[in-house]
Structure 1
């Protein structure tokens, strides 16, 4: 499939790509993609023969290797912001163009842009950062249906284990910006909120971009979750809802300045 100058997909000349899947750092195509289980799935699956008793200790070394590889690759990153959003966002949509603007705005302000490395919103944010001359980072994950690291990533790592990948997002970011997305985006959003609420990380803003999409969730958290006493009133301030790119950049800058002052 080719692209028009504005990044929209050109449907008139489709290119057929072979099936593709990442297994950790390994790229598989064609007949090599047979079988859909992932490393995470095999680790967490307690069913089947008891030989897992003998193999699980060795998996610890692979897990350790993922942390070592991630820490080594990302240690030299400048200040960074992670942008989350749907892998299903099409290139010819306003959402894609918005994510590109957000990636570019962060890059122009000196932030590296980290995403999950996939297509859709992630690709758009990486694209914006790269085209603005910034650092574009993708932290991919082994999934049976993922397309691999997108072409706009300058530094990419593909993980087998979600928990290793999540550690990298939090450790090397100074903020999260969440655009409309699905379960993966929601997972990262609430993981970040939990870490900030429990003070595992500090001075870490979580920005929800898009009031039409996120407004109902924010209302539910305020009315139902806080209303039932399951979180306290100050916890509501951990979320910043906006539709303005400049406002998002301001929130990120203010939080980073506070973090620098504390260190």
Structure 2
């Protein structure tokens, strides 16, 4: 004869448990009452949830961001230097052209670009990163996020920017620059302009690319067209605007082709 324990059943989420499979406590009880080792908060399954949470937080906060341009450059650039003031000017001009400005949220070039946009009445965004040394978000940010993971932060830069403007910087700046170039070159994202500001600083790098990478067929000749080099803040903004006018034209053409194809399939 079946005992009372074997007859009882319980719904647990999408599952139905019966008899000996029914746990003595509910899921809520185990969640709220449990006290024990905290090693699990450092395990990979828990990290996956943290990563997911960072994506959700970023997407949710930035979803309604207007068209924007990311500005990169060294955190070590001091206020009052020509590079700092150039970044301030570019941030202001990008706002005047109708763009929000996104930076890594730190000091130096990032602060300068945020400052130019902010003091000119624009929307200024900072996407910070957790580092071993303290680097707080600068004071010229309207929307700020701090990330644990570099790759989540990079996704936000690419997803919510319509262009990258890159001033002189170090390894972090190079990392962002070449990631953007790679994504555009491999067509993983829609092509958007990448503007290097500072012919003296960036000229040697581009000379090496032309003289070494290109002749050895490590890149294609058209790949050089992915990068624009200038010292002129007016040209920076013009390159961005012209590229977006062309993108909108191509998108309209593509939409028209798709609509015609759908009509042909429907027989209308």
Asked if the contact 1:118/1:146 (under 8 Å) is kept, the reply is no
Q: Report how many aligned residue pairs link the two structures.
A: 213
By how many angstroms is 1:257 displaced?
Answer: 1.4
**The structure with more helix, counted as a fraction of residues:** 2
By how many angstroms is 1:94 displaced?
Answer: 1.1
Counterpart of 1:133 (choices 110, 118, 121) is: 121
Residues 207 and 55 of structure 1, relative CA distance in 2, 3 Å threshold: same
Q: Map of 1:30-109 to 2, 5 A cutoff?
A: 55-109=43-97
Q: Find out whether 1:237 has 2:225 as its counterpart.
A: yes
Counterpart of 1:249 (choices 230, 234, 237) is: 237
Asked if the contact 2:40/2:46 (under 8 Å) is kept, the reply is no
Higher RCO structure, 1 or 2 (CA under 8 Å, sep 6+):
1
Q: Which has the larger radius of gyration?
A: 2
Q: Distance in 2 between matches of 1:104 and 1:145?
A: 30
By how many angstroms is 1:53 displaced?
Answer: 11
Cα offsets for 1:209-251 (capped at 9, x unmatched): 0000000001011111111110000001001000111111111
Asked if the contact 1:114/1:136 (under 8 Å) is kept, the reply is yes
Please, what TM-score do these two structures have when normalized by structure 1?
0.79
Residues 53 and 159 of structure 1, relative CA distance in 2, 3 Å threshold: closer
By how many angstroms is 1:54 displaced?
Answer: 7.9
Counterpart of 2:99 (choices 111, 118, 121) is: 111
Q: Distance in 2 between matches of 1:118 and 1:76?
A: 23
Asked if the contact 1:84/1:178 (under 8 Å) is kept, the reply is yes
Moved over 4 A (4+): 51-54
Report the counterpart of residue 28 of structure 1 in structure 2.
none
Please, what TM-score do these two structures have when normalized by structure 2?
0.77
Residues 229 and 128 of structure 1, relative CA distance in 2, 3 Å threshold: same
Report the counterpart of residue 192 of structure 1 in structure 2.
180
Report the counterpart of residue 10 of structure 1 in structure 2.
none
Q: Distance in 1 between matches of 2:243 and 2:190?
A: 9
